[in-house]
Amino acid sequence: MKLWVLRHGEAVPYGSKIDSERELTEHGRKEVLSSAAHLMGQPLTAIYASPYLRAQQTAQIVREALGFEPEIRTVDWLTPESDPDKVAEQLVSVSNVLLVSHNPLVGNLLSYLQHGAGHPPERVSTAGLAELEHSELLIGSMKLNSLKHP
């Protein structure tokens, strides 16, 4: 199983809008396009995204760049403060999916999947794309193949 985790692109600053309504900047859109290029040719089966606007925009840019036909699956378990263990529970029956989310969840989830609970989060920039792999989803034993920053 492969799992890709993408942090949303650069968004307008905090305080300018309600957090869930912050949109991508032009720079953020370009960052996402750069990261989407790394997904070309990958065996992607689904895109799951946080309901927050910047994550939805990020997922849509990736979907369009890849010509990916299935609809984006919007899920509440990918919001910024979600519990990595709860996310892992949702991934048990899927493979080769892209998750589009936010920090601190992205950094915490990557650390949790590689090392288990109690380890420091991975550092992930906006539009940072991680690829993890293992024969099955085993907490603390997934291999980080790459972590690309635009």
pLDDT for 32-89, tens place per residue? 999 999 999 999 999 999 999 999 999 999 999 999 999 999 999 999 999 999 999 9
β-partners of residue 24 are: 11
Amino acid at 9: G
Neighbouring CB atoms inside 10 A of 94's CB total: 15
pLDDT of residue 31 exceeding 80, the answer is yes
Give the Cα separation of 138 and 107 in Å (integer).
17
For residues 18-36, average pLDDT: 98
| pLDDT score for 135 | 81
For residues 135-141, average pLDDT: 81
Beta 97-101 vs 2-7: how paired, if at all?
Answer: parallel
Band of pLDDT at residue 16, cut at 50, 70 and 90: confident
Query: Which run of H or E residues covers position 30?
Result: helix 26-36
Which pLDDT tens digit goes with each residue over 76-106? 999 999 999 999 999 988 999 999 999 999 9
Give the Cα separation of 128 and 124 in Å (integer).
6
| pLDDT score for 81 | 97
Residue 74 neighbours by CB under 8 Å, 6+ apart: 48, 49, 50, 51, 56
Query: Of 35, 27, 39, which is closest to residue 97 (Cα–Cα)?
Result: 39
Q: Give me the residue spans of the domains in the chain.
A: 2-148
The domain defined by 2-148 carries CATH number 3.40.50.1240: yes
β-partners of residue 148 are: 129
| pLDDT score for 15 | 87
Tell me the two tokens of residue 145: 């193949």
